[in-house]
Structure 1
Amino acid sequence: MTKVLEDAIEKVRKLPEDRQAYVAELLEQIAAAGGDPFIVPEAHRAAVLEGLGQAERGEFASDEEMADLWTKSGL
């Protein structure tokens, strides 16, 4: 296991149980794909495409907005 993955798992251990379950679900999907590219679940596709469009238009969150998000997330 890489150090980056070990560090990430350590952070996940500190999250609430519902967030841990979400991370576990994502990891299961990625692991199930094996060496194949990860396919974004259809339920998330619209949000991913919206985010890509925002990035293409240069619409990024400010440093202050990101700091607020990390604080609210407990990170």
Structure 2
Amino acid sequence: MRKIGGDFIRFRPITIELPHAVSINRRLRYETSMTELLERAVQSLRGLPPETQDALARILQQLVGDDPSIVTLSAEEETSFQTSFAQAERGEFATEDEIKAVWAKHGL
């Protein structure tokens, strides 16, 4: 799950065929070539703040299955989870209308 705009969103892993590996000077390298669309997207991301770039990089890693097994939460994320757990313990859950509003906010 990733926090985007104050909401936690679950991303499904996708399968992507990686380029074939070649060995040069005993080092494993990939012959890489990005599509023009991906090149433009990466160029657009360069202007974003470092923390936003890192968040998006982690999402991309998760999508291609290169996600580390241990995720380090920020202090804000940790607090958010603790608040959510405490609310669940008290039986405080979102109403159906609140859930629909979150989905609508993200066009889902």
DSSP 3-state at the match of 1:60: coil
Deviations 1:16-68 (A, max 9, x none): x88xx68624435983xx23x32212232211111111111111101111011
* RMSD of aligned alpha carbons: 3.3
Which residue is equivalent to 1:5?
13
DSSP 3-state at the match of 2:94: coil
Percent of pairs identical after alignment? Answer: 25
Tell me the distance in 1 between the aligned counterparts of 2:83 and 2:57: 22
Structure having the higher Rg = 2
- Which aligned segments of 4 or more residues in structure 1 are displaced greater than 6 angstroms? none
Bigger proportion of residues as helix: 1
For this pair of structures, how many residues does the alignment match?
58
What letter corresponds to residue 49 of structure 1 in structure 2? Q
What letter corresponds to residue 5 of structure 1 in structure 2? P
Which residue is equivalent to 2:56?
24
Tell me the TM-score normalised to structure 1 length: 0.53
Tell me the TM-score normalised to structure 2 length: 0.40
Higher relative contact order (CA 8 A, sep 6+): 2
Structure 2 gaps of 5+ residues are 1-11, 15-44
Bigger proportion of residues as strand: 2
Which residue is equivalent to 2:107?
74
